Amino acid sequence: MFTKILIANRGEIACRVIRSCRELGIRTVAVYSSADADAQHVRQADEAYCIGGPTPAESYLRGEAIIEVARQTGAQAIHPGYGFLSENADFADAVEAAGMAFIGPKAASMRKMGSKAGAKDLMAAAGVPVVPGYTGEDQAPAHLHAEADRIGYPLMIKAAHGGGGKGMRIVRDSNEFLAHLESCQREAKNAFGRDRVLLERYVERPRHIEIQVFGDEHGNTIHLNERECSAQRRYQKVLEESPSPFLTPALREEMGAAAVLAARAIDYVNAGTVEFIVGQDGSFFFMEINTRLQVEHPVTEFVAGLDLVAWQLQVAAGGALPLAQDAIRRDGHAIEVRLYAEDPEAGFLPGSGRLERLRLPLASEHVRVDSGVVEGDTVTIFYDPMIAKLIVHDIDRPRALARLRDALAQCEISGPKSNIPFLERLVRHPAVVEASIDTGYLDRHLDEFMPATETVDTDLLLAATVARLLGQEQHARAQAAGSTDPTSPWAIADGWRLGHGSRRSLAFGWRDQRLEVHASGSGGDYRIEHAGQAHDIRGARRVCSGLSLRIGERARRFEVLSPDSDAENHLVLHDGERRLRLQPMAMYRHEASGAGSVADNVTAPMPGRVVVVKAAAGDAVVAGQEVMVIEAMKMELSLKAPRDGTVAEVRAQAGDFVEADTILVALEPAVAQEPTP
């Protein structure tokens, strides 16, 4: 076994590898960019070295710099994690040429799978089921269009190189083909440096099921059962689970055998994933082999009771697989979701910034948290905005879902916006609970996973108000205790105010609304007025984060997720099913004068790189027309004209890096219309 390895990655996967290495007594070397100097993987590794600037091209994609650090530190092997150089065959070759082991498959296997077109042909020859399509070299648009018409619609255009949902388009009509082709090729060129595409028949309402495979250098190849990843948005997985609730025992066995056949066809060594698309009738087709460890590998570890990173290390050191196929167990049910810094209500716009508060569940035999950040760290603009992976396990699927709901209810993130409320709605949605979700469901019914009402939940608002009142009274008591005359009426924390009796008024910001409440009473007994309704609250008590009270004759319990020290910034309440996040506001304020006007400028919503400019000075545009596309945090953002008008100036060109709030396209000022006499 190795005594020291280098991890050529960052974030939670680097921390994950470090954890297994520490348990095995293996010392670790980390590399980092200038943006990651204070990152957790740097702090957790035994030693770490800076290899360049903040962007991946300046750091984590510099294979020669990474290998030089490994050489200088005496590392015997390099673990690539996932992403970055993990599926780069040239890097794997260079690692071995430098006399070190690459903890992953051989470069030859990667090259066979590096092209989706070549992989598909290879699998078909090996007898693995593949989707009908076109994988040829002729990439002329007219030829591709003819092939598409031959295959039939709907079909999918896919970038032949790469993954992660990039460079993929569904085409449902021949007239739409060329426009989708151009868009797909441009995205593939920007993401992977090559714009070759392949075409394949699109399976309606498919399930996405992948099989974890493992091979060693001694001729052993096995599978570790399946993971279902059908809950997706724009081809990005949002929930993964094992076992699949869709598979029958017979279909599970058939797909497992096909996955092993696919791995053997390319002489696969180490961890990999064979991905299949599965029709509603149970027919399945090969999609691709991911020649690396997957983000969702923890669900397999939970169900199989294994450490896949430890297996990777053992195989890369020349050892045999620890277990044979018939010894692989399937115990209970595991589910994983990913917590991201993003705003689902704004089109899942990725976020960045300091994690002012990061509250995650405590690890247990049922709950696992894989994260590369802690409270106070910063989610930067240069990398994927994932904050943590939340994985739960229990004896069956209903109990695992219950565990996940409870774990999510314990999460709270302040700083950048997060997808936690979205995930809470997801794991309660009938399509997930009933296991009927297919890969396109979220895109077709996204509104079902967004906030369903524009009216604040009254019970949660009342609870938040009570939490605020109790906090104020506790603070007043603390001040009274330090007073020179604690018996003075001015030191009594009963909410009494000169000229107002015991009436207290509070204001909160919620979404784009201002909420006002008026309360009288103290010590847990209040009369609270909101929106013309009065509510009697009795017996309110706060113990740690738990808040219990009676609303009329109903007793309720809530969790206060925000700390008292942060009460001025935000207030977060959870009732076990829903959460309410409020921004305390000043009760009295000066109103801004003057009516608002429609914006004259298109600005960058966040830092990013301009991909394409679709407008020029003098162009007439209409409201909603796309004028520019920028790429930020691994996704393209479409920027549109805010109103009808004429472009006065375009201030950025393709390839430019722009900061947040930068004016990119300016419209000529709107001309005021003369009133009609």
Q: Which positions are catalytic?
A: 292
Strand 101-102 to 77-79 pairing: parallel
Q: How crowded is residue 137: how many other Cβ atoms within 10 Å of its Cβ? A: 7
DSSP letter at 675 equals P
673: which residues sit within 8 A by CB, 6+ positions away? none
- Could you tell me where the DSSP H helices lie in 418-553? 420-426, 430-433, 441-444, 458-481
Q: Which two tokens mark 464? A: 């938040």
CA distance 98 to 390: 37
CA distance 469 to 502: 12
Residues 304, 298 contacting (CB under 8 angstroms): no
Q: Which two tokens mark 364? A: 């247990």
CA distance 182 to 231: 28
Q: How far is CA 555 from the centre of its chain?
A: 36
CA distance 66 to 58: 11
Phi-psi region for residue 282, left (φ > 0), alpha (ψ -120 to 50) or beta? left
Q: How crowded is residue 564: how many other Cβ atoms within 10 Å of its Cβ? A: 13
Question: For the chain, what is the radius of gyration of the CA atoms?
Answer: 28
Backbone angles phi, psi at 413, to 5 degrees: -130, 130
- Amino acid letter at 203? V
Describe the strand order of the beta sheet including 620-621 as a list of residue ranges: 601-603, 663-667, 645-650, 620-621
Residues 1, 28 contacting (CB under 8 angstroms): no
Q: Angle at Cα 366 formed by Cα 362 and Cα 368, nearest 5°?
A: 50
Residues 153, 173 contacting (CB under 8 angstroms): yes
Instruction: Find where tokens 């994950």 sit.
Output: 16
